[in-house]
Amino acid sequence: MLDTDENKFKELVTLIAENDGQEFSETKIRMWWKVFKDYSVTDIEKAVFAHISDPVSGKYTAKPAHIIDKLPRPNVDCEDRAILAWMEIEKNIRKVGAYGNLEMEDKQALVAVKNMCSWQELCHTPVDKLAFRRNEFIQNYKAVEGVDTAYIEKLDGIEALENQRSGHLKPIGLVEAQVR
């Protein structure tokens, strides 16, 4: 932001405070200014309104991190995001494997995997075939760009699926830990 944006920024911060039933001190406004000084006031304004109108996060008092989360991401194209997501998927293949659940912040990646195969099947892909799976994933990731991903939280692993089949709502290990 430029120094000339200070009044507009103060208006936005005041709007945030009033929306949350608060009043911001000058110290708090200066802190917010320092946090957001590298962003454009136009982007900040869009992010503030995105936060306020968000049915989930808009219910809570806005912190700088909430607004930053709504700011436009750097120009990273879809293929680059897909590659980053695939790196996280490969890490999860090694870390949690077919028995664990695949949980990611990038819900588009979860949809892309689900469109390819099950999480278990992906985990059991031979190492020499992972490059083909990677290419398939990137194509699927691009294909689901812009698709609603709100319905997906995770892809269940073998343990979760077996627990569901046997009527357990929570993984048995968690139930045992709660009993103790």
pLDDT top residue among 124 and 149: 124
DSSP state for residue 150 in the 8-state scheme:
T
CB 104 within 8 A of CB 133: no
Nearest to 135 by CA among 173, 80, 83, 74: 83
Task: Quote the tokens at residue 29.
Answer: 């406004």
Phi/psi at 108 (5° precision): -60, -35
CB 123 within 8 A of CB 90: no
Task: Quote the tokens at residue 45.
Answer: 């304004």
What would the mean pLDDT of 21-33 be, rounded to a whole number? 90
Q: What is the pLDDT of residue 2?
A: 85
Nearest to 158 by CA among 121, 131, 127: 121
Domain boundaries, the chain: 3-70, 78-174
pLDDT tens figures, 38-91? 889 999 999 999 999 888 888 888 899 889 888 887 667 899 999 999 999 999
Name the pLDDT band for 174 (thresholds 50, 70, 90).
very low
Q: What is the pLDDT of residue 3?
A: 84
pLDDT tens figures, 88-117? 999 999 999 999 999 999 999 999 999 999
pLDDT top residue among 170 and 161: 161
